[in-house]
Amino acid sequence: MGLLVPILLALLASLFGGLYLLGAFRKQRPGEPPLDRGSIPWFGHVLEFRRDTAKFLERMKQKHGDIFTVQLGGYYFTFLMDSLSFGAVVKEARTKLDFTAFAIKLVVRVFSYISMENESKFSHDSNNRHLMGDGLVLLTESMTKNLQNLMLHSAGKGGDQKAWSEDGLFMYSYNIVFRAGYLSLFGNVSSREAGSTEKSFEMDRIQSDELFKEFRKYDQYFPKQAYGVLSPRERIEVKKLLGMLWKMLSLQVLKNKDNPSGWVHELQQTREELGMKEFMQERYMFLILWASQGNTGPAAFWLLLYLMKNPEAMAAVRGEVDRVVKESGQEVVLGGPIVNLTYDMLKKTPILDSALEETLRLSVAPVLTRAVMENMNLKMADGRAYQIRQGDRLSLFPYTVVHIDSEVHPDPLSFKYDRFLNPDGSKKTDFYKNGKKLRYYTMPWGAGVSKCPGRFFAMNEMKQFVFFMIFYFDFELKNPNEEIPDIDVKRWGFGVMQPTRDVGFRYRLRF
């Protein structure tokens, strides 16, 4: 009996200590946002959040207002749901709100990549050199050549050029854009290795398609992996897929490529010079492949689908594409050269730009998260202020708060290709909430220091693909009356949403 009491006390202490660590006793302090821990210790609301992020956040907003704190898998996230106050998060110093601290943990869990010291500085400098300005011009040229190879390699080479081909629009768009982007960034099969230029083009088509098939398998597991809820069988499959993908992006493979982008070459060289292990460099190569090519293909799918479902929009974009080609002095002649789509030509497409921005408004739904590095005071646009605790997370979800807010974007669930055009054809940037002009009226690329550095290349990729489709092909839905598919709610928070099903279409060369 003498031993029983200390044992029971020790067990009780362990129980209460565990519950404390799980957040079971956290209370809302004066000046803090409303707190909703959920009914399950440590997990909190994570199951409902993962099941349908948008629906959950709207429920919390109805319950608590436009700022609240919820427990999600051991962390406390404060969601700011007032679009006029987004600047308070975006502009805050990194000493208080840091994207990198949050991203590093996610990258380790998903890609098994351990960042090096000063990672963000090296990457930032390289991004500026190669993903903007002259570097972007070179990438655009490379993307044009690779799209020509993938989409038009059979043009003018005999056979029935007017025969229809059939495919799923999502898989076709994702496949072509991913492969062309990969080849533009990581390089082409050497003509010396292949034996001829023509053979190297063929090997590029074959090898890039093999890579896409494995990438697509991995991508379907990505949301579960990011949340850490893979089953034992799925973990084995993901490990196997990652092993194959790392091998396909090995340094030995990449160093034998011709025409690698300066961006990828510099990122790899920097890590090699700093002594990073080869296997870790290969993991980094896959990370940048996913970051650069995981969203552009799905977005291109939505843009083509919206255009196909809106004849007025398709006619406007087609007219602009034809005009740009004509003004470039190029003409299409049977058996002649393929149109060289240049960086300068892409700068003359305001209608396509607006249609793309409208597509991103409807299809991109990131959760933008910062780690709270110290206790801070968050001031909102209406004068309210809230205390946010060190160690928590502060998040924005622009999709419901801005993208489909009917006050900001009237008739928000409809595709309006000219929504981002002024009557004179210039870019429209004036959007309002409660009578006040919004600075952040769409946020598909994030904002502030974490804004996607590759957004200019990504936009050009999508525009080039759609440009070639519209100029070189007739294409139509197999079922013209087919409804636009729903989005897969399991992918909320991970960039461009994907459809719950594919849409059949057919296409053939126009010339």
Amino acid letter, residue 411? D
Domain boundary assignment for the chain: 21-112+368-396, 119-366+414-509
State the CATH architecture for 119-366+414-509.
Answer: Orthogonal Bundle (1.10)
- Helices (H), ranges, 228-384: 232-248, 251-254, 262-273, 278-293, 296-308, 311-327, 343-346, 350-363
pLDDT in tens, the chain (511 residues): 455 544 444 443 443 344 444 456 799 999 999 999 999 999 999 999 999 999 999 999 999 999 999 999 999 999 999 999 999 999 999 999 998 888 888 899 999 999 888 777 778 889 989 999 999 999 999 999 999 999 998 765 656 667 899 999 999 999 999 999 999 999 999 999 899 999 999 999 999 999 999 999 999 999 999 988 899 999 999 999 999 999 999 999 999 999 999 999 999 999 999 999 999 999 999 999 999 999 999 999 999 999 999 999 999 999 999 999 999 999 887 777 899 999 999 999 999 999 999 999 999 999 999 999 999 999 999 999 999 999 999 999 999 999 999 999 999 999 999 999 999 999 999 999 999 999 999 999 999 888 999 999 999 999 999 999 999 999 999 999 999 999 999 999 999 999 999 999 999 998 8
Q: Answer yes or no: are the C-beta atoms of 79 and 380 closer than 8 Å.
A: no
How far apart CA 384 and CA 319 sit, in angstroms, is 50
Which residues have C-beta within 8 Å of that of residue 434, sequence separation ≥ 6?
84, 407
DSSP per residue over 22-68, as a string? TTTT--PPTTSPPEE--SSTTTBTHHHHHH-HHHHHHHHHHHH-SEE
> How far is it, in rounded angstroms, from Cα 126 to Cα 235?
34
CA distance 396 to 185: 31
Class of domain 21-112+368-396: alpha beta
Q: What pLDDT does residue 156 have?
A: 58
Q: CA-to-CA distance for 401 and 410, rounded, in angstroms?
A: 13
